[in-house]
Structure 1
């Protein structure tokens, strides 16, 4: 039997301990949001080339832009497309409209363009529009029926995206709970998702949590930096970062309603690198720390305390700044890349850059 060098032995045991840390060219759990509320974005073909140079394997669109969907054809990159809130009434009431929508936005491009998920509506369940809430499930069902008829039901999932406001309680994470006032509607959505194997999509933003509690200890907790942690009084689990705490609050809420098998997807999370003078938290340093440490945390495959040993699919917000978005300055400063395709700051997503890992030893 040949002898092994010390380096070979180390690498052998390292690979046994951390089999998924090999290098980041195939990490399907890292995605990115591609918003288009801007007038200075590069052409879709240039964006597709940029994405292929990174370890990003999934892209979430807020609509179904045909130019982008075509540009991503034959790249192997998974695509999430969205039906707007304004489309929900027609999708819910008219199966023919649903068929037309799916034919135009999915079947016309699939499978060359690897559409993996359709999100029907955005943050509907935390809106004040009760009518739209009641139409959400029928809209999702009609879209699913069209996919089933085209033999795509098991290949393309149908979901909707929620803000963290869909929880009435999230601290401590073990107390996570949905709004009792909308529990019947939520239960119907979750039964649909359990039956179809579609993920529960949520938008956790530690950035907003820090804005409401701007202490140095809270910032470290939000940025995955060394901190004293926070103990969940319900189960004595110590949380070392806000992202895990927010995701586990959603896990607790799903479990409490009896939907332990419904998977979670993080549809949006990020940190702005700039903002208005009165905004707390935006900076290049903080944005690089949050997104870089988040990516390292996902790559470590540690998972969360309630979902250990796996990484939740996470779509970082965002690919580019959206210079026409309304609101505070931070709304226009989430982009990891600039319109000229250069990096705003480096979080080790390039296939040619070294992979950063958390301090796991």
Structure 2
């Protein structure tokens, strides 16, 4: 019997169909995607109810920005994969003292070590790498000290990384020109060398909404929302149908320009606000972005530069948080604090 050849286009269509079906799957099957659990609100539900919310809707991964012990207690036995943050202000002591690194582990990981599924330790969040302050200068030493502690205490496979904002890129368009800003290249090389030797990904915040809101003349809404029918950006042989892929590949090119070829990326934050900036922040647009984002991640299609490469990802965020600045900042949540949906997603 003659074999049937499947065209690349048909393979892509099949992958997208599978991803859509997976998004609509029963909650107990789970979605291979995470959600950020921010706590800047005075009306948020208790942590044990939040963990149940994640489980109810099949969200399998949670990112905490710092070691909140109510949340860590609630996560015991939950089988949620956890990304746990080290506060920026704790980095100088951890970086300058192996004993401080052990004390951080002993306080925030060891009591829960056997009851929580651990994925990442994120050392710092959006650190200002342009500044030569004690936080930035101790970032890589802190990562190294925590890596040693985890290796010595039965957690060699727990990734130690950091979370960066897109501002570290000096050039991002076209993606193949992606490069880090000159001022941060020395520390980026140190970060990437550490990640390369420990097989850990770099975590980055990628927000097509912010790019579109800042330049709606040159960036189309369809491109930002994964809805473009033709590639708005053609970069050599690579065609970009959505802005997230372009942002991701710009980071990849920048990493490779540092001579590091084996560091992947995890999207630590991405999302779309449902209010706060007129007609470009509605529940409908937020739902459209996040649904397309989830489908894109679940498709395992990778990016034009790295087709088929797995990209781990976290949506920002689980709740609207009323202690953030008024406007857009208060409206990134998938749920209201009373745990009603802002819009259906999971």
Instruction: State how far apart, in whole Å, the 2-side matches of 1:51 and 1:315 are.
Output: 13
Which segment drifts farther, 31-40 or 173-182? 173-182
Residue of structure 2 in register with 1:205 after alignment: 207
- 1:95 shift after superposition: 1.5
Residue of structure 1 in register with 2:173 after alignment: 171
Is contact 2:271–2:317 with CA below 8 Å preserved after alignment? yes
- 1:343 shift after superposition: 1.1
- 1:134 shift after superposition: 1.5
Is contact 1:158–1:198 with CA below 8 Å preserved after alignment? yes
Match among 130, 139, 161 for residue 163 of structure 2: 161
SS in 2 for 1:291: helix
Match among 330, 333, 337 for residue 332 of structure 1: 330
Is contact 2:202–2:265 with CA below 8 Å preserved after alignment? yes
Instruction: State how far apart, in whole Å, the 2-side matches of 1:236 and 1:192 are.
Output: 32
Is contact 1:35–1:318 with CA below 8 Å preserved after alignment? yes
Match among 100, 103, 108 for residue 105 of structure 1: 108
Is contact 1:126–1:165 with CA below 8 Å preserved after alignment? no
SS in 2 for 1:232: strand
Residue of structure 2 in register with 1:222 after alignment: 224
- 1:126 shift after superposition: 4.1
Is contact 1:120–1:160 with CA below 8 Å preserved after alignment? yes
Is contact 2:211–2:219 with CA below 8 Å preserved after alignment? no
Which blocks of at least 5 consecutive residues in structure 2 are unaligned? 1-9
SS in 2 for 1:304: coil
Instruction: State how far apart, in whole Å, the 2-side matches of 1:68 and 1:295 are.
Output: 25
- 1:236 shift after superposition: 3.3
Residue of structure 2 in register with 1:57 after alignment: 60
Match among 143, 146, 151 for residue 149 of structure 2: 146
1:58-77 correspondence runs (5 A): 58-77=61-80
SS in 2 for 1:339: coil
Instruction: State how far apart, in whole Å, the 2-side matches of 1:170 and 1:90 are.
Output: 34
Is contact 2:37–2:317 with CA below 8 Å preserved after alignment? yes
Instruction: State how far apart, in whole Å, the 1-side matches of 2:30 and 2:300 are.
Output: 13
Residue of structure 2 in register with 1:354 after alignment: none
Instruction: State how far apart, in whole Å, the 1-side matches of 2:127 and 2:219 are.
Output: 33
- For residues 152-211 of structure 1, the C-alpha deviation after alignment (integer angstroms, 9 at most, x for no partner) is 122x11111000011101100111111222222111111111111111000010011111
Residue of structure 2 in register with 1:345 after alignment: 343
SS in 2 for 1:32: strand
Is contact 1:237–1:305 with CA below 8 Å preserved after alignment? yes
Is contact 2:143–2:161 with CA below 8 Å preserved after alignment? yes
- TM-score in terms of structure 2 length: 0.89
Residue of structure 2 in register with 1:118 after alignment: 121
SS in 1 for 2:112: coil
Are residues 1:268 and 2:281 paired?
A: no
- 1:49 shift after superposition: 1.0
1:247-262 correspondence runs (5 A): 247-262=248-263
Match among 171, 183, 197 for residue 185 of structure 2: 183
- 1:129 shift after superposition: 4.3
Which segment drifts farther, 335-344 or 316-325? 335-344
Are residues 1:193 and 2:195 paired?
A: yes
- TM-score in terms of structure 1 length: 0.86
Instruction: State how far apart, in whole Å, the 2-side matches of 1:147 and 1:200 are.
Output: 18
Is contact 2:300–2:311 with CA below 8 Å preserved after alignment? no
Instruction: State how far apart, in whole Å, the 1-side matches of 2:263 and 2:309 are.
Output: 15
- 1:282 shift after superposition: 1.3
CA RMSD, Structure 1 to Structure 2 (Å) = 2.2
Instruction: State how far apart, in whole Å, the 1-side matches of 2:81 and 2:130 are.
Output: 29
Change beyond 3 A, Cα 1:251–1:91: same
Is contact 1:88–1:136 with CA below 8 Å preserved after alignment? yes
SS in 2 for 1:272: coil
SS in 1 for 2:200: coil
Instruction: State how far apart, in whole Å, the 2-side matches of 1:177 and 1:216 are.
Output: 21
Instruction: State how far apart, in whole Å, the 1-side matches of 2:292 and 2:35 are.
Output: 15
